[in-house]
Amino acid sequence: MRRHSCVVMLLACSLSGLFVPLAAQPVSGDIRGYFPQFVLGGGVQSTIVIVNPSATSRAEGTVEFFDRLGNRWGVVVDGVSWSSGQVPFNLPPGGTRFLSPETGDWPVMTGWARIRAHSPVSGSILYGGTAGQAGFPAVNAALLYTIPVENRAGEARTSLAVSAPEGPAVVLKLRLLDRDGKPVLGGSGSLDISPRSQAASFVDELLPGADLSNFRGSLQVESDARVALVALHSTLTRLSPLPVYASDQTSFFSFEDNLQGWQAQAIDVQDAGAAKADWSIAPSAARWEDGAASLLFFLDNLTDAGKIWIQKPFLVEPNRRYKVKVSYSFGTKDYGSLNLWRMITGVLPRPPQTRDDLVFQGDTGHGSPNDIGYVWLDKNYDFEVESGPDGLLYVHLGVWGTWETPRGYYFDRLTVSIRE
């Protein structure tokens, strides 16, 4: 990508080593929104505004800052240095906090940020500088976006900023459509984004083979993992945020304090004799991949057949076919190839009630022949399923005990994305 000065808040410029982040402490609370672009330096000031909408309860949380490479980005706010890149807030009912990290004479630096909080809050980001001013609300992450695009040589350009906040590397597929919804010659391409990093560019830079000298249409952005994205329209005298349409229903669960609306279920945990399997599914601070907790599935499998899982209904249109992607981090210490349990992950138009209803997805082993303790594995499953007349899809995941022994497994960073 080339550097451009006309839209300074959407540049992917090199970062300097002005801050040396220390080891970050775990930050709890659910993710309440992302800012795919955060800019300091080069005459630009970024301000994040947090509002507590509750009329009765305090809102406690943290704003986390990352540089464009995904490293913790230390900032100074109100004269206080937060070298871990984690700035806490504690708002009274109806309270507001403006976070304006200090900026100096250094070149422009870009990155991204997110909000964590134990209760709902609203957030927005304001950019100000010599190129103009613009603002965006905090956004969610999704898999498929549509962006309006206008490019006119020397007059107007469209740019986008995107962050891959959840860990894995991401490949974005780009597809440019004209005003009639038809593909544009030379308007297809891709963009690779490293784990937890951020990128920003003008659309004409991303698709140099397309004629955008006088163009109005749209850009479709499809990702193989959730990303957060914003877009900006710029002219010689004005900066404006563009509406970005996410055409998939994407939900993220980190299980910091509770099951976040999921229900714990179990079958075959008591046999015809005296055997009864103790089991539990609850947040645990013992291990995590996101935040400061994960969901611990424990089963003392005395029946040699116990199955425990969580399930949650997602509202869609009735009697339609959907593509559903379920992704999560799975913590297991099972090794070798003997006595492994089975994974449960599936999507159904009705809640599973029997063994035959559950969907099984391989074993619980981490692949090593040796006992190396717990290992986090990335699990990704794709489904095509038709919703029922009630317009619900039930996602379920857990473990099936196939060996008579007590075991514990951890689930974290769960994402469910649904689109037609």
Lowest mean pLDDT among 176-185, 245-254, 258-267, 352-361: 245-254
Contact status, residue 230 vs residue 160, Cβ threshold 8 Å: yes
Looking at residue 62, what is its pLDDT?
Answer: 95
How far apart CA 106 and CA 281 sit, in angstroms, is 49
The verdict on pTM exceeding 0.85 is: no
CATH topology of domain 263-419: Jelly Rolls (2.60.120)
- Mean pLDDT to the nearest integer, 87-114: 91
Q: What is the 3-state secondary structure (H, E, C) of 9-24?
A: HHCCCCCCCCCCCCCC
Whether the per-residue pLDDT at 23 is higher than 70: the answer is no
What does pLDDT average to over the chain?
89
CA distance 58 to 14: 38
Report the C-alpha gap between 227 and 246 in whole angstroms: 11
> Residue written as tokens 């005296």?
274
Residues of the chain with CATH 2.60.290.11: 8-247
Tokens of 142: 């999704």
Q: What's residue 409's pLDDT?
A: 98
Q: What is the pLDDT of residue 131?
A: 57
- What are the start and end residues of each CATH 2.60.120.200 domain in the chain? 263-419
Q: 343 near 361, Cβ under 8 Å?
A: yes
Read off the pLDDT of residues 269-309 as tens digits, 9 standing for 90 and up.
988 777 889 999 999 999 999 888 999 999 999 999 999 99
Please say if the pLDDT value at position 132 is more than 90: no
The pLDDT value given to residue 21: 34
Amino acid 76: pLDDT: 93
pLDDT confidence tier of residue 6, bands split at 50, 70 and 90: very low
pLDDT of 274 reads: 73
Instruction: Decide if pLDDT at 3 tops 80.
Output: no
Q: Reply yes or no on whether the pLDDT at 82 is more than 50.
A: yes
For position 154, what pLDDT does the model report? 84
Residue 28: which pLDDT band, with cuts at 50, 70 and 90? low
Burial class (CB in 10 A: 0-12, 13-18, 19+), 190: exposed
Tell whether the model's pLDDT for residue 130 goes beyond 70: no
In this predicted model, what pLDDT tens digit does every residue of 144-193 receive, in sequence order?
Answer: 999 999 999 889 999 999 999 877 789 999 999 999 999 999 999 999 99
Distance CA 52, CA 49 (A): 10
pLDDT in tens, 184-222: 999 999 999 998 999 999 999 999 999 999 999 999 999
- Number of CB atoms found within 10 A of residue 351's CB: 14
Its CATH class, for the domain covering 8-247, is mainly beta
Backbone Cα Rg of the chain = 23
- Residue with the bigger pLDDT between 338 and 24: it is 338
